[in-house]
Structure 1
Amino acid sequence: MDSAQTAAVGRPRRAHRRAARDVLALIALPVPLLAGVLPAAFAGGGTRRWFGGRGEGQRAEAQAAKDAAAAAFYELDTAQRDLRISIETITAVDGTPAAQRTVSDFEALGHRIDEVSHRYIAAVDSYDLDRDDLEASVAAQAKTELTRAKDDLVRVKQDLDRFAQGLGPLLDKAETQLARLAPAVERARQALLAASTALDSARNSGLRADDLATRLAALGPELTKLNQGAGRHGVTDTLHRADEVLREAETIRAEAERLPELAAEMDKRIVSLRTRAQALTTRAAQVDPVLSELRRRFAAACWQDLQQVPDQASASVKQAEQRLAEARKARDEQRWPDATALLSTVRALLNSTDEAVSAAGDRLQQLNAVSKDPEQEIERTRFAIRDAQRLAMAGRHTPDPQHARPLDDSVARLDRAIASLQGRHPDYWHFLTETEAVRQTVSRVVSQIREDRGMGA
């Protein structure tokens, strides 16, 4: 490819990289070595006297060789300048061994460029083609040396072009990173501004938001480093810092914007839990009459485990009210995490109390039902056993022992539970717990059968 074609191919590539170079303008670039020799390379010319004959023809050929060498020198210098920017682009982003090898290879090419450039400058300085007494032999010698210098420059330029073509993957990656740099930094700055605005709005509504203010202040040094730029901290570190600042600032903004809603929600929860505590106090007072009826109508085994429910309910409600008062204080002081944790404790206390208070009423209801008609509970349990037995025999002449044994045991256990109902004061609660345990065992066997057959399929 000649120099004109190479320049034509390079122009689109250079235009494509303009955005990346704009970013690299922030990073100091070394001046190419050739910059200092350009003025000398193109010095000369002026007015000269022309003489006809063979000598003048040799002078013209030498001048043409000098012009061709100068053009080759200029193209090489331009290509080196462009490639130096590409190398700086890569090294600003990429610290991998591949990038380091690229820098070493470029430095080696730079030494070759210096050598052929110095030979070219020496050839130009050795001959004054404007001398009136320039001899034809000297002009011919000048032509030869200048042509050789031009050829050396062209060869190195071709090597430089081939080297540049091999930088494609590294350069594309670096340009992508650089293209992300300015937008990433700007997004981080805008996120910080939005967080600060949201924080001011929360404070104007009467919320201190001290924790958020501390977190936002901690991002100040990071913003300073972003403002110092990639030239000081590197592109990769700056991109990472911008992403971290963006995430934290967006989190602070979201929390600041939600603070008024959080405060309103917490106020509602406090009121709701206080109302629930008061209702549980009323319900707990109704447990004693339920226990009285249980004692009067059923055996002691049916209600002994409920004896402590009234006292426990009262203590739990009192503890919940204390925690509720602490949560109210934490909310007023805007200690949101503390207030949230205390409200969770209150809810757990009230839940356990609710279950205990409900257990007494549920127990009386269950015992009333089974004492009037235990057959319904018996048939319910037998149906579960028979259904499991049919499943165990499906497609088999004999059931699998690991399925048949627990089902047989369940039948015997049900029979014993039924037998326990005989007598003057039957333990209906024991009967109910036994039938429930039988159904749970049968349910596990059914699940095992289905799982085994599913694996076999």
Structure 2
Amino acid sequence: MTGTPATPSQPYASPVRPRRGSRPGGPAGGPLLVLAALPVLAALALPAAFAGGGTRRWFGGRAESQRAGAQAAKDAAAAAFYELDTAQRELRISIETITAVDDSPAARRAIDDFAALGRRIDEVSARYIEAVDATDLDRDDLDAAAAARARTALTRAKDDLDNVRRELERFAEGLGPLLGKAETQLARVAPAVERARQALRGAAGALDGVRSAGLRADDLAARLAALSPELTRLNEGAGRHGVRQTLQRAERVAREAEAVRAEAERLPEKAAEIDRRLVSLRTRAQALTTRAGQVEPVLSELRRRFALACWQDLQHVPEQAAENVRQAERKLAEARAAREEQRWADATALLSTVRALLNATDEAVSAAGERLRRLNEVQKDPQREVERTRFAIRDAQRLAMAGRTTPDPRHAGPLDEAVARLERAVAGLTGRHPDYWRFLTETEAIRHSVADVVSRIREERGAAH
């Protein structure tokens, strides 16, 4: 093979493909002649020169183009994966917000749907990672076919990631009402907790105030201390205990603390009121002792002038009144001791018992004098009681006949019976000592039965109109 050797000063020419129709070694002076004349050392150095300084072997323009396309697809898929991951994390926060507040069927469905989307995201993410790991795009010997397959797989993975992200975005749009409701609930938490704290501080301050006035409030202090664990739970936050539970706890703590504060503030007034009631009930017990001593003369007159049935139920009044007063005085002493020990609830309960005893005594003592008064009146003029009862009966009969030609049997029957009962009561006033008390109780019972008939008539006519 002949030709002119290349000198060191001549630049090295890049190889070119031979022109179509020419032959190697022809008159045109083809590159094969130049290569044949190169020294052996220069020929050994050629691969490094073609490699561009040792960075990558050259395999042709098509392979590099496919590699670049695959790399672009890989970058696009990575961006889609990042966007999907970001959207999922943001939506998870919304779901957690709803979960903390809402346990309605709609909220539970949303949670289930998000879980299903999560499984779909896991599937497409796994395919994306598989596509990335399947081909090393930086490999020196990557051929065009492998690069094309990688590009196709990565593009498909990117499309799957985008589709799921769009599903996630549509799902997030549908969560609007649930999320709005949950955020509204969350916005109530901080103010509610703060109100509870302020109520506790107010209760503690009120307790300090009454203690400085020399009053104990051990029961109130115990109630306030019982709220301390609840405050700890409030401080731990809704994230741990749930929004609804936290709101309910805050409202309960505020309500109970406010009750403690109000009772503490009323405590000085309560102490003064107990002191007044002690004095008042003691005075009333003394007065009843005097009045109870006047029952025996009343009973003596009743026994002398009226039949046994007129006073028999009153003969134990003096003894019962004396016993009630003695019990009231014992309870007063216990109430005074409870007041000294500042057992306010006990003192109040004991004073209520004293009042009930004295009321019962007052009624019994008054009943004896009232019995004698009424018996004196009816003994003097029985006809007055008879006319009073007859007037009530006639008035009811006129009402029953108003607007009617014949009375309603439901009304006429009781009224006719009232007339008969009155006649029997009047007939019973015979003998030396008539039972005037029975007469009085019977006429009173007749008037009550007549009044019941009048009420029924008016109710029926009112309903008809």
TM-score w.r.t. structure 2 length?
Answer: 0.74
After TM superposition, give the deviation of residue 382 of structure 1 in Å.
0.7
Distance 2:243 2:115 in 1: 21
Matched with 2:291 is 283
Pick closer, same or farther for the CA change 1:103–1:251 going to 2, 3 Å: farther
Aligned to 1:447: 455
Looking at structure 1, the residues matched to 211 and 87 of structure 2 have their Cα atoms a distance apart, in angstroms, of 59
1:105 aligns with 2:113: no
1:314, distance to aligned residue in structure 2 (A): 1.7
Structure 2 residue 144 is the aligned partner of structure 1 residue 118: no
Verify the 8 A CA contact 1:119 1:149 in the aligned structure 2: no
What residue identity is the alignment partner of 1:361?
G
Runs of 5+ in structure 2 lacking a partner? Answer: 1-60
Corresponding residue for residue 334 of structure 2: 326
% identical aligned pairs: 71
Give the distance between the partners of 2:304 and 2:145, measured in 1 at CA: 140
State the secondary structure of the residue aligned to 2:407.
Answer: coil
Aligned to 2:374: 366
Q: Which amino acid aligns with 1:110?
A: I
Q: Which residue of 2 aligns with 1:405?
A: 413
Identify if the C-alpha distance between structure 1 residues 128 and 419 changes in structure 2 by more than 3 Å, giving closer, same or farther. Answer: same
Alpha-carbon distance between aligned partners in 1 of 2:165 and 2:131, rounded to the nearest angstrom: 14
2:318 to 294, 306, 310: 310
175, 179, 184: which one aligns with 1:171: 179
The 3 A distance-change label for structure 1 pair 54 and 207 is same
Q: What is the letter of the counterpart of residue 311 of structure 2? A: W
Q: Contact conserved, 2:71 with 2:137, CA < 8 A, in 1?
A: no
For residues 391 and 408 of structure 1, what CA distance do their matches in structure 2 show? 14
Q: Paired residue for 2:95?
A: 87
Deviations 1:196-250 (A, max 9, x none): 2222222222222222222222222232233333444344443443333333322
**1:108 corresponds to which letter in structure 2?**
R
Q: How does 1:123-142 map to 2 (within 5 A)?
A: 126-127=136-137
Contact 1:89 1:171 in 2 (8 A): yes
Deviates more, 1:58-67 or 1:68-77: 58-67
How big is each residue's C-alpha offset from its partner over 1:32-63, in whole Å with a ceiling of 9 and x where there is no partner? xxxxxxxxxxxxxxxxxxxxx99999999888
Residues 128, 158 of structure 2: 8 Å contact kept:
no
Unaligned runs of 5+ in 1: 1-52
Residue 84 to residue 400, structure 1, CA distance change in 2 (3 Å): closer
**Could you tell me which of 353, 357, 364 is aligned with 1:345?**
353
Please give the alpha-carbon distance, in whole angstroms, between the structure 1 residues aligned to 2:245 and 2:416: 71
Distance in structure 1 (CA, Å) of the matches to 2:367 and 2:373? 10
User: What does residue range 176-191 of structure 1 map to in structure 2 within 5 Å?
Assistant: 176-191=184-199
Alignment of 1:2-401 (within 5 A): 71-94=79-102, 97-115=108-126, 117-118=128-129, 121=132, 126-127=136-137, 147-401=155-409
TM-score (norm 1): 0.75
State how far apart, in whole Å, the 2-side matches of 1:63 and 1:118 are.
14
Cα distance in 1 for residues equivalent to 2:228 and 2:83: 48
CA contact (8 A) 1:120 1:150 kept: no
Tell me which amino acid in the other structure corresponds to 2:91.
Answer: L
- Do the aligned partners of 1:91 and 1:99 also contact (CA within 8 Å) in 2? no
DSSP 3-state at the match of 1:195: helix
| Whole-Å separation in 2 of the counterparts to 1:72 and 1:395 | 92
Distance 1:240 1:416, change over 3 A: closer
Paired residues of 1:284 and 1:357 also in contact (CA < 8 A): yes
| TM-fit CA distance, 1:372 | 3.1
State the one-letter code of the partner of 1:398: T
How far is the alpha carbon of 1:126 from its aligned partner? Answer: 4.3
Question: What SS class does the counterpart of residue 115 from structure 2 fall into?
Answer: helix
Partner of 1:29: none
Deviation digits for residues 162-203 of structure 1 (CA, Å, limit 9, x no counterpart): 122232344334323332333333332332222222222222
What secondary structure sits across from 1:399 in the alignment? coil
The Cα of 1:94 is off from its aligned counterpart by 4.6
User: 1:64-111 deviations in whole A, cap 9, x for unaligned?
Assistant: 767655554443333223122223323444566425413422421331
